[in-house]
Amino acid sequence: MVLALLGAHLTGRTRAQLAALLPETFALILLNPLPAAQPLNAERFTRATAAWIEGATEATALWDIGAVLSVVADIAGPDLMGQVLLQLPADWPPLFGLPEHADTTST
């Protein structure tokens, strides 16, 4: 669910590069959704995730989001994460376990 919602927010080469780093089953989940009509900020993303997971609350959804997206951030590495974050609302870095104004580019 988290990967599907993330995939709806990513486009083009960035989405394809991230999918290529994931196991096939998860890559298909990331690539399958249609683009989001409008980007969800972190709060709305958390609410949407909670609504899709039976019995979830926003707090438990946030835990699930962090578990998934922190692994995505580790797999992606700093350069690709920088590209990912450019496509997302500014309040998303903490969902990936990154500082709020994450500078993910390597120096």
pLDDT single digits (tens) 82-96: 999 999 999 999 999
Q: State yes or no: pLDDT of 1 exceeds 90.
A: no
Q: Spell out the residues 6+ positions from residue 77 whose beta carbon is closer than 8 angstroms to its own.
A: none
Query: How far is C-alpha 11 from the geometric centre of its chain's CA atoms?
Result: 12
Q: Are 49 and 69 within 8 A, CB to CB? A: no
pLDDT single digits (tens) 93-105: 999 999 876 555 5
pLDDT band at 107 (very low <50, low <70, confident <90, very high): very low
Separation CA 17–CA 80 (nearest Å): 8
The ranges assigned to domains in the chain are: 2-33+40-96
Q: Is 75 exposed, middle or buried (0-12, 13-18, 19+ CB in 10 A)?
A: middle
pLDDT single digits (tens) 19-53: 999 999 999 999 998 899 999 999 999 999 999 99
* Confidence (pLDDT) at 106: 44
Query: How far is C-alpha 66 from the geometric centre of its chain's CA atoms?
Result: 9
pLDDT single digits (tens) 61-74: 999 999 999 999 99
